[in-house]
A and B are shown apart, each in its own frame.
Chain A
Amino acid sequence: MQGSISDTAESTLNIAQETGAVDHHADHPDHRMFGVAVFLGAETMIFLGLFSAFLTYRLMAPVWPPEGTPGGLELLLPGINTLILISSSFVIHQADTAIKKNDVGGLQKWFAITAAMGAIFLAGQLYEYSHLEFGLTTNVFASSFYALTGFHGLHVFVGLLLMLAVLWRSRKPGHYSNESHFGVEAVELYWHFVDVVWIVLFFLLYIL
């Protein structure tokens, strides 16, 4: 009996303290966007590592793409894809502008359009993959092409999931407002990041 009483007291204490923890969270300003920016900094380093690996292959090879690489890279489809992805960065910014005016409908509209553009980009990428004459293991050029675009594509895909998550959450009235829209801003920043990475990637793989 004694034990059970003190247990109850203890759990009351714990609950009080846990709730206290939630309350205190409002004590300090919101650092989440700063955290997202730092995280994207770390992500940048993965891509820089992969870029430098690619450049090493490129600079060490006498001919690029190496002799015997079947087919080559078309420029038209990836070019259109690039335009779509770059434009989507401007589209997603409209969502940010909308939510700052407390316009949840606008947020949903612009996020849906951005997600659709991302999906078109991925579809275009897959179409390109299926029409290339070289495979993953053909040579180091092919491997690094698939590794780089694939890793970036994975990031685009994650971005789509994040947008769908925001859309799902935005169904609840008041979840996003002009006061509170961390999710929207974070996805936007992430999407810009994915976009900038693609521009570098496009330059390295298709132009250079």
Chain B
Amino acid sequence: MAQVEILESPASSPPQAHGGERKWTDYFTFSTDHKVIGIQYMVTGFIFYLIGGVLATMIRTELATPQPDFVTPEAYNGIMTLHGTVMLFLWIVPVGAGLANYLIPLMIGARDMAFPRLNAIAFWMIPPSGILLVSSYFFEAPSAGWTSYPPLSVNTGLVGQGIWILAILVGGTSSILGGLNFAVTMLKMRVPGMTLFKMPLFCWSMLATSMLILIGTPVLAGALILLAFDLFAGTSFFNPAGGGNPVLFQHLFWFYSHPAVYIFVLPLFGAISDVIPVHARKPIFGYQAIAFSSFAISFLGLIVWAHHMFTSGTPPWLRMFFMITTMIIAVPTGIKIFGWLATLWRGKIAYTSAMLFSMGFIATFTIGGVTGVMLAAVPFDIHVHDTYFVVAHFHYILFGGAVFGVYMSVYHWFPKMTGHMMNEFWGRVHFVLTFIGMNLTFMPMHELGLMGMNRRVALYDPQFTDLNVMATIGAYIMAVSTIPFIINAVWSWRYGPKAPANPWRALTLEWQTTSPPAIENFDELPVLKTGPYDYGLGYIPEIDPPELYGKQVSEPTAS
């Protein structure tokens, strides 16, 4: 016992003892430690991101020329379906859950999640779900896109589509269990003195996300179960020949899948609200407005789904309703963007990799938001429906918003998670390559869509060639951009300079413990001394001398 105490007590001066450093083998076990589970989620998600990225590169290679010369059109449909499904269900959802798992208990001063075992079960559903999904390609590849609309989905690839449905059901269950855990943890396990309005904004956004997961995902499960009946039992829920209704599937599907867009991006909205104040040394602008806007987005997100279906024969009054709600959702989103910009305004901005990615996030996400409002307008949407304009729009949201947000979070919380600093120089190289590649890939797609190029087709009219070549070059740059990141992350995890407890001099609770945190996060429960964003109000965290922060920023390549 004495030995344990010696090992656990942190040294008084930074860098501190690595109380919670784990053996690499721990990450392959059924651990109930939320920090292990968080990293498991994020690394697993990243592996699937690479798989999805390879698929995306194949898509772009195929589309470099108008003819289908790289893969057959049938293979293209399968690759396109797998790319979409992997990226959404196995990359963005798990990586958001990973961040939430790692950060929520630390941010609210809890020792673990409310249900640690359930948490581990939820994570261990992801690898089987992913293996199923990827394997579905090899059994009559599902090729109806990630939306899997019937009748297309019940007429192509029976076995593959069945595996696809099973994979999504497993992944969805995992997501529901995760959301349940997040919600209960945040509502019930905050450290004494932390009211809801003293929570970091990441927690607010995760509360809103959990609500969406719990309300939306079960409905998708119901729809997919009915689809499986149509597929295997010969029922006709979605088959007009037997009295069914294919549009009903679209309603049920989008009832989940539109809120899902916010499930993908809200966690990163929260993360950026926590990163910007730290690196700009200013209190967040409009804490309550940002917190409430997360809930406004959640609520409105539940009543906009039919804007995906303006060309599915929806009656005019329904179109009108969904057009208006969709446009209104830009208001809470805009509130957030203005809140972040106002936080940056006249801040002491440190151009760290995390800050660069958060700026990239705001810039590209705003473009995606603007095209979102354009697409909300029924006449315009009917004009560009199922063209590359839509592809451009949601990649600006999902890549420009969510993926930039994930990179930002990794650069910001990597020292806390691993106990090592990442290399700032290569972080900037990563940012520049990603930013250029991303815009070069997806910007031309707006124009292609307006010119009428259809999405989800392996071949196109030769007049679209130039812009497609440009997008393909951008995709290759994006593919290359992950290399510095992977090397930086792997190398830094092992050899990076030891991180102090609080390298960014942040005020939220996760930084008030060792890096990485001890097994149960806090030796004794932390006491709130300030609000989460009280920068520049006279309080300086005692643990680290200020020059440490300056050094990290001014000498990025020092090791």
Write the residues of chain A forming the contact surface with B, with a CB cutoff of 8 angstroms.
9, 12-13, 16-17, 20-21, 24, 27-29, 31-32, 34-35, 38-39, 41-50, 52-53, 56-57, 60-61, 66, 136-137, 139-141, 143-144, 147, 151
Are B214 and A61 in contact, with the CB atoms below 8 A?
no
Q: Which residues of B contact A56 (CB under 8 A)?
A: 245, 248, 251
Q: Which residues of B contact A141 (CB under 8 A)?
A: 243
**Which interface residue of A56, A136, A143, A151 has the most chain B CB atoms within 10 A?**
A143
Are B222 and A139 in contact, with the CB atoms below 8 A?
no
Are A140 and B236 in contact, with the CB atoms below 8 A?
yes
The residue in chain A whose Cβ has the minimal distance to the Cβ of B32 is A21
Other than the given A42-B214, A139-B236, 5 more pairs (CB < 8 A) read: A9-B7, A13-B3, A27-B111, A49-B255, A140-B237
The residue that A53 contacts in the complex, of B4, B188, B214, B237, with Cβ under 8 A, is B237
- Chain B's nearest CB lies how many Å from the CB of A160? 21
Knowing A45-B215, A46-B221, A66-B243 are in contact, say whether A38-B180 is a contact too (CB < 8 A): yes
Knowing A17-B519, A141-B243 are in contact, say whether A53-B248 is a contact too (CB < 8 A): yes
Are B214 and A45 in contact, with the CB atoms below 8 A?
yes
The residue that A137 contacts in the complex, of B216, B223, B234, with Cβ under 8 A, is B234
Are B114 and A49 in contact, with the CB atoms below 8 A?
no
The residue that B3 contacts in the complex, of A12, A48, A49, with Cβ under 8 A, is A12
- Chain B's nearest CB lies how many Å from the CB of A28? 6
Are A46 and B236 in contact, with the CB atoms below 8 A?
no
Q: Which residues of A contact B3 (CB under 8 A)?
A: 9, 12-13
Q: Which residues of B contact A13 (CB under 8 A)?
A: 3-4, 7
Compute how far the CA of A13 lies from the CA of B245 in the bound complex, rounded to whole angstroms. 60
Compute how far the CA of A169 lies from the CA of B110 in the bound complex, rounded to whole angstroms. 31
Contact with A along B120-138 (1 / 0, CB 8 A): 0000000000000000000
Compute how far the CA of A32 lies from the CA of B115 in the bound complex, rounded to whole angstroms. 8
Contact with A along B190-223 (1 / 0, CB 8 A): 0000000000000000000000001111110111
Are B233 and A136 in contact, with the CB atoms below 8 A?
yes
Are A42 and B184 in contact, with the CB atoms below 8 A?
no
Are A139 and B217 in contact, with the CB atoms below 8 A?
no
Q: Is B235 an interface residue (CB 8 A)?
A: yes
- Chain B's nearest CB lies how many Å from the CB of A86? 25
Q: Is B445 an interface residue (CB 8 A)?
A: no
Q: Can you name 25 A-B pairs with beta carbons within 8 Å? A: A16-B1, A20-B520, A21-B32, A21-B112, A24-B111, A24-B112, A28-B110, A34-B188, A35-B118, A38-B180, A38-B183, A42-B217, A45-B219, A46-B219, A48-B219, A53-B248, A56-B245, A56-B248, A56-B251, A136-B234, A137-B242, A139-B236, A140-B243, A143-B235, A147-B225
Compute how far the CA of A35 lies from the CA of B244 in the bound complex, rounded to whole angstroms. 36
- Chain A's nearest CB lies how many Å from the CB of B243? 4
Q: Which residues of A contact B111 (CB under 8 A)?
A: 21, 24, 27
Question: Size class of B's contact patch?
Answer: 35 or more
Compute how far the CA of A57 lies from the CA of B183 in the bound complex, rounded to whole angstroms. 35
**Which interface residue of B1, B118, B214, B234 has the most chain A CB atoms within 10 A?**
B214
Q: Which residues of A contact B235 (CB under 8 A)?
A: 136-137, 140, 143, 147
Closest 10 CB pairs of A and B: A49-B222, A49-B219, A45-B218, A140-B243, A143-B235, A46-B218, A17-B519, A16-B4, A42-B214, A137-B234
Compute how far the CA of A28 lies from the CA of B3 in the bound complex, rounded to whole angstroms. 27
Knowing A143-B229, A143-B237 are in contact, say whether A34-B184 is a contact too (CB < 8 A): yes
Compute how far the CA of A44 lies from the CA of B247 in the bound complex, rounded to whole angstroms. 23
Compute how far the CA of A35 lies from the CA of B177 in the bound complex, rounded to whole angstroms. 10
Q: Which residues of B contact A53 (CB under 8 A)?
A: 222-223, 226, 237, 248, 252
Q: Which residues of A contact B245 (CB under 8 A)?
A: 56-57, 60
Are A17 and B223 in contact, with the CB atoms below 8 A?
no
Q: Which residues of A contact B243 (CB under 8 A)?
A: 57, 61, 66, 139-141
Compute how far the CA of A147 lies from the CA of B216 in the bound complex, rounded to whole angstroms. 20
Q: Which residues of B contact A41 (CB under 8 A)?
A: 214
Are B236 and A49 in contact, with the CB atoms below 8 A?
no
Knowing A21-B520, A45-B215, A136-B235 are in contact, say whether A31-B114 is a contact too (CB < 8 A): yes
- Chain B's nearest CB lies how many Å from the CB of A162? 16
Are B4 and A35 in contact, with the CB atoms below 8 A?
no
Q: Which residues of A contact B509 (CB under 8 A)?
A: none
Are A46 and B222 in contact, with the CB atoms below 8 A?
yes
The residue in chain B whose Cβ has the minimal distance to the Cβ of A20 is B520
Q: Which residues of A contact B222 (CB under 8 A)?
A: 46-47, 49-50, 53
Q: Which residues of B contact A140 (CB under 8 A)?
A: 235-237, 242-244
Are A35 and B237 in contact, with the CB atoms below 8 A?
no
- Chain B's nearest CB lies how many Å from the CB of A200? 15
Q: Is B263 an interface residue (CB 8 A)?
A: no
Q: Which residues of B contact A38 (CB under 8 A)?
A: 180, 183-184, 214
The residue in chain A whose Cβ has the minimal distance to the Cβ of B236 is A140
Are B180 and A39 in contact, with the CB atoms below 8 A?
yes
Q: Which residues of B contact A139 (CB under 8 A)?
A: 236, 242-243
- Chain A's nearest CB lies how many Å from the CB of B341? 36
Q: Is B553 an interface residue (CB 8 A)?
A: no
The residue in chain A whose Cβ has the minimal distance to the Cβ of B173 is A42
Are A137 and B32 in contact, with the CB atoms below 8 A?
no
Q: Is B176 an interface residue (CB 8 A)?
A: yes
Compute how far the CA of A184 lies from the CA of B176 in the bound complex, rounded to whole angstroms. 23
The residue that B184 contacts in the complex, of A20, A21, A31, with Cβ under 8 A, is A31
- Chain B's nearest CB lies how many Å from the CB of A198? 17
Q: Which residues of B contact A17 (CB under 8 A)?
A: 4, 519-520
Compute how far the CA of A34 lies from the CA of B189 in the bound complex, rounded to whole angstroms. 12
Q: Which residues of A contact B242 (CB under 8 A)?
A: 137, 139-140, 143
The residue in chain A whose Cβ has the minimal distance to the Cβ of B176 is A42
Q: Which residues of A contact B233 (CB under 8 A)?
A: 136-137
Q: Which B residues from 500 to 539 make CB contacts under 8 A with A?
A: 519-520
Q: Which B residues from 4 to 35 make CB contacts under 8 A with A?
A: 4, 7, 32-33
The residue in chain A whose Cβ has the minimal distance to the Cβ of B234 is A137
Compute how far the CA of A32 lies from the CA of B195 in the bound complex, rounded to whole angstroms. 21
The residue that B180 contacts in the complex, of A27, A42, A66, with Cβ under 8 A, is A42
The residue in chain B whose Cβ has the minimal distance to the Cβ of A43 is B218
Q: Which residues of B contact A28 (CB under 8 A)?
A: 110, 114, 188-189
**Which interface residue of A17, A49, A50 has the most chain B CB atoms within 10 A?**
A49
Q: Which residues of A contact B255 (CB under 8 A)?
A: 49
Are B226 and A147 in contact, with the CB atoms below 8 A?
yes
Compute how far the CA of A16 lies from the CA of B227 in the bound complex, rounded to whole angstroms. 50
The residue in chain B whose Cβ has the minimal distance to the Cβ of A18 is B519
Q: Which residues of A contact B229 (CB under 8 A)?
A: 136, 143, 147
